[in-house]
Amino acid sequence: MELHLTDLKNGETGVIISTDPSSESQQLCRHRARKGWRKHFRSARFVKRLTDLGLTPGTNVTVVKSAPFNGPLEVCVRGSRLAIGRGMASRILVDVKR
Amino acid sequence: MSNNHFTVALAGNANVGKSVIFNQLTGLHQHIGNWPGKTVEKAEGTLHFKGYTIDVIDLPGIYSLSTFSIEELISRDYIATKKPDLVINVVDASLLERNLFFTLQLLELETPLIIALNQVDMAKKKGILIDHKKAEKILGVPVIPTVAVSGSGIYEMLETAIEVIEKKRRTDPKKPRYGKEIEKRIEELVELLGKIQLRYPIRWAAIKLLDEDKEVEKEVLEVSPKIVATAEKIRAELEDIHGHACPTVVSSERYQVASRISKEIQEITEPLKTPIREKLHTITTHKIFGYPIMLTTLLTVFIAIFTFGDFTSSHLEDFFFGLKPTFDSFLGTGIVGELVWGGAIDGIVGGITVALPYILPFYFILYLFEDSGYLSRIAFLMDNLMHKMGLHGKAFIPVMLSFGCNVPGCLGCRIMETTRERLLTAFVVTLVPCAATSVIILGLVGNFVGIQWALALYIINLIIIFTLGRIAFKALPGEPTELIMEMSDYRIPHMKTVLNQTWFRLREFIVMAFPLIIAGSLVIKIAEVANLLEPITRIFSPVTVAWLGLPAVTGIALIFGVLRKELTLIMLGTLLGTTNFAQVMTPVQMIVFTLVVMLYIPCIATIGALVKEFGWKKAWLITVFEILLALLLGGIAFRLLII
């Protein structure tokens, strides 16, 4: 089942499908790169940071818990524990077996 | 460099014990400054070992050599262009996969490299055993197991470092090879790049072009726009094959290599029981228990620091002023004596009585928290609240510092990732009431008007911070970044590292703030001796008397407050001839005065910190804005309160 990382229950593990909010249409992405590089740059930066920390497509990611009042998520990926802001986490698409 | 003088850089992820190794190597022979033109800390030190002099540079802790943060850019530029004799890659043995991801990039950067496999003891406790000989064979560079906190392995690491630098030990660094499709395209770019001159290794540059690296792309573009166009075409091909953006493809491939290597060299057995540090993590980040624990901890720390500070500060002051008669007998009570005492010495004493008793324990506890890992938990818990003022969780740390003193708060903004975030945080930080401001709020309003009014002032201050933070967040160009940070395992802080960091930060504070405080004291003293204060008061009276409804002498007090805010209260007492302020000021006047003092200007040391971190223009902008804001709100408050 395809879900956003923020939709996972505590303790649930999913496989990352995509961390790129614009990946549904690569064509659109490239178009944007020419027209509005700033917006593209933003999403590129965000994706880069996540992938650098090990959240690459195909990786297992476990949601440990989330801080209250819509706070960040605590996730476990490749053996390390990360805190990810909720906005960022909501742009990560994962595949979950339920 | 001469035959026995080398430069070695320490590189690695954050929280791998890099700074512990740095401190073990260099001790007190350190120099902490900023990278030229950047608000990123540069730690350098010197080490003498077996007749060699080794300059050690501690590069910032980073996860990649891309362009996400200034730290990453600085590190890779340093390695690629300054070419240190050796890079020691400090690797956390218990997080091999992610650490190797960084190691692979260092290998691609073709720098002479050895690996310090750190915290092997912790890894063992977690059930992770690493075959470092095998790692050596696979990576082609020496791998030395170390435990930085106990110093074990450091000697071997240095010996190996010398051997590698002097080429007595041959290394054969193996650059990672990726999947067929991507490898073919790297070759294609390597061939093209081989024809032009670049600062970087060719294969690395080729991979960086696939990585959509703006910096490398810009450099290549200047020489050959054709190559950039080809790279763009190749990226599109790869995106079509993999269905992901090309940089993601590159990172994925690199992580696959890192993952494969780490599987080959490590053996994992599950630890039998949950260790205490895990339980501690669970409870300190718990959605219910986390907050009371944090509040209790912070309050305890604040109360402890203020009790200690108050006690030490008054004793130090007594001691210094006890020296005045001796001093007077030397220089006399004439103009020279007064200038030297009132200007220079008063400034130094003021600095010492603030810096040592308050800032020292503040820094100490900050680094204790940082080193133990608690700071990142606080950031995790406070992220949501900080979002309300347009910042993210990490910003809570400089803000928290600022309740003690704005100067470390401003310098602490370095932990934010982007220049925009740094500036925003600094702006918020300068609005936070520091310890000296609290003295006035509590000492004047709290004492003479009522504690509920003092609380009201704090609340007003918080409202102002949230509102202005929000507005600045909307107004400042650029994109916001969100919280993304590692919460590394709790550990027992390494005292030597904590003490060293405290000492160097304190020294930084003294070097920056003291000259300003002394110069400021001197200027004001000269004005006083030259009888200029009276005319200045008159110039200010339209603002102080007519607009704010305050006694005219407050003008002088406010001038002194630029040096240090608590001086406003001391001066006010002196000028009005009494410390029973209720006799000479109305409650409204006291509230308005305190409100103005709270906001009107960052003190001279804070302005200095702003200039240092952000340049003159932004420092002045913030200062002028806050003066106008204080006057505006003070005047409004006066009119509202007398109704």
Q: Is residue B608 included in any domain, yes or no?
A: yes
**pLDDT over 50 at B65, yes or no:** yes
Q: What is the ipTM of this complex?
A: 0.85
- Mean pLDDT over B421-439 rounds to 90
Mean pLDDT calculated for residue range B563-579? 83
B355 alpha-carbon distance from chain centroid: 18
**Domain ranges, residue A63:** 2-95
**Which pLDDT score, from 0 to 100, does residue A38 have?**
40
**What are the pLDDT digits (tens) for B380-389?**
999 988 988 8
Answer yes or no: do B152 and B229 share one domain: no
The type of residue at B107 is L
Name every chain B residue with its beta carbon within 8 A of the beta carbon of A53. Answer: 63, 98, 484, 486
Lowest mean pLDDT among B47-61, B73-87, B318-332, B546-560: B318-332
Q: Which of residues 33-92 of A touch B (CB under 8 A)?
A: 38, 41-42, 44-54, 56-59, 65, 67-72, 74, 78-88
A68: tokens are 């209250």
Is the per-residue pLDDT at B552 higher than 50?
Answer: yes
Q: Which of B419, B368, B424 is nearest to B395 (CA)?
A: B424
- Alpha-carbon distance of B467 to B578, in angstroms, equals 37
The structure's pTM equals 0.87
* % of chain B residues with pLDDT over 70: 99
pLDDT digits (tens, 9 = 90+) for B609-632: 999 888 899 999 999 999 999 999
Q: Select the residue from A51, A74, A77 to test the B interface by mutation, using most B Cβ atoms within 10 A.
A: A51
Q: What is the 3-state secondary structure (H, E, C) of B319-357?
A: HHHHCHHHHHHHHCCCHHHHHHHHHHHHHHHHHHHHHHH
Interface of B with A in 269-288 (CB under 8 A): 281, 285, 287
Check whether residue B315 and residue B226 sit in a common domain: no
CATH code, domain carrying A16: 2.30.30.90
State residue B380's pLDDT score. Answer: 94
**Res. B546: pLDDT tops 50:** yes
Distances (CA, A) of B122 to B236, B273, B377: 44, 15, 20
Look at A72 and B393 and tell me if their CB atoms are within 8 Å. Answer: yes
Q: How confident is the model at residue A26 (pLDDT cuts 50, 70, 90)?
A: very low
B380 and A CB contact within 8 Å:
yes
Residue with tokens 């609340």: B459
Q: CA-to-CA distance for B150 and B133, rounded, in angstroms? A: 22
Distance from CA of B244 to the nearest CA of A (A): 6
Q: Alpha-carbon distance B502 to B518, whole Å?
A: 23
Reported as a single tens digit per residue, the pLDDT across B578-613 is 778 888 889 999 999 999 999 988 888 899 899 988
Residues B261 and B361 in one domain: no
Q: How many domains does chain A have?
A: 1
- Are residues B231 and B161 part of one domain? no
Distance CA A67, CA B379 (A): 11
CB spacing of A83 vs B379 below 8 angstroms: yes
Q: How does residue A43 score in pLDDT terms, banded at 50, 70 and 90? A: low
The answer to the question of residue B275 being in a domain is no
Q: What is the pLDDT of residue B281?
A: 95
Measured between CB atoms, which of A30, A47, A69 is closest to B247?
A: A47
Q: Is the pLDDT of residue B519 over 70?
A: yes
The two tokens of residue B374 are: 């608690």
Q: How many domains, chain B? A: 4
Alpha carbons B597 and B569: distance in angstroms, whole number: 10
* Dihedral angle over CA of B470, B473, B476, B482, nearest 10: 180
Best residue of B384, B386, B489 to probe chain A, by most A CBs closer than 10 Å = B384
State the pLDDT confidence band at B473, using cuts at 50, 70 and 90. Answer: confident
In a domain, B273, yes or no: no
Res. B67 pLDDT band, cuts 50 70 90: confident
Three-state SS for B53?
Answer: strand
- Domain holding B153, by residue range, is 5-165
CA dihedral (B274, B275, B278, B284) in degrees, to 10, reads 120
Judge contact between B137 and B65, C-beta under 8 A.
no
Q: Is residue B41 very low, low, confident or very high in pLDDT (cuts 50, 70, 90)?
A: confident
Q: B91-100, B327-336, B584-593 — which is least confidently predicted? A: B327-336
In this structure, is residue B411 part of a structural domain?
yes
* Residues B171-210 pLDDT 10s: 889 999 999 999 999 999 999 998 888 888 999 999 999 9
Residues B113-123: pLDDT tens digits? Answer: 999 999 999 99
Q: Which of these ranges, B209-213, B355-359, B377-381, has the smallest mean pLDDT?
A: B355-359
The verdict on B247 and B136 lying in the same domain is no
Total Cβ atoms within 10 A of residue B5: 12
- DSSP states of A53-65: TT--TT-EEEEEE
Q: Are B97 and B192 members of one domain?
A: no
Residues B536 and B564 in one domain: yes
Contacts of A30 in chain B (CB under 8 A): 236, 239
* Residue B49 is assigned to a structural domain of this protein: yes
Q: What is the pLDDT of residue B2?
A: 57
Instruction: Give the pLDDT confidence score for residue A32 in this predicted structure.
Output: 45
Asked which of B79-88, B305-314, B365-374, B625-634 is least confident by mean pLDDT, the reply is: B305-314
When CB atoms are compared, the residue of B64, B481, B485 closest to A82 is B485
Strand-strand pairing, A73-77 and B5-12 = unpaired
Structure tokens at B524: 């004001």
pLDDT of residue B262: 95
Closest Cβ opposite residue A80 in set B98, B245, B248: B98
pLDDT of residue B575: 80
What value does the mean pLDDT take over residues B479-500? 88
Name the B residues in 56-95 with CB < 8 Å from any A CB: 63-64, 66-68, 94-95
pLDDT interval class at B561 (50, 70, 90): confident
Asked if B38 and B138 sit in the same domain, the reply is yes
Which residues in chain A are contacts of B378 at CB distance < 8 A?
none
**Statement to judge: residues B143 and B195 lie in one domain:** no
Longest dimension (CA), chain B: 87
Q: Which pLDDT band holds residue B348 (cuts at 50, 70, 90)?
A: confident
B167 CB within 8 Å of a chain A CB: no
Question: Is a pLDDT exceeding 60 seen at residue A35?
Answer: no
pLDDT reading at A37 higher than 50: no
> Which residue reads 């409804």 in tokens?
B549
Question: Minimal Cα distance from B239: which residue of A?
Answer: A26
Same domain (yes/no): B424, B336:
yes
Report if residue B170 sits inside a domain.
Answer: no
Q: What is the DSSP string of B411-438?
A: HHGGGSSSHHHHHHHHHHHHHS--HHHH
Q: How many CA atoms lie within 13 A of B324 on its CB side?
A: 13
Residue of A nearest to B67 (CA): A45
CA dist., res. B253 & res. B205, Å (int): 16
- Is A20 in contact with B376 (Cβ distance < 8 A)? no
pLDDT higher than threshold 80 for residue B333: no
Determine whether the interchain pair B243/A26 forms a contact, defined as Cβ–Cβ distance below 8 Å. Answer: yes
Q: Is the pLDDT of residue B97 over 70?
A: yes
For chain B, positions 530-589, list CB contacts with chain A under 8 A: none
Position B606 in a domain? yes
Residues 488-527 of B with CB under 8 A from A: 488-489
Per the model's pLDDT, the better-predicted residue between B523 and B89 turns out to be B89
| Partner-chain contact B244 A18, CB within 8 Å | yes
Strand partners, B89: B11, B115
Q: In which band, very low, low, confident or very high, does the pLDDT at A31 lie, cut at 50, 70 and 90?
A: very low
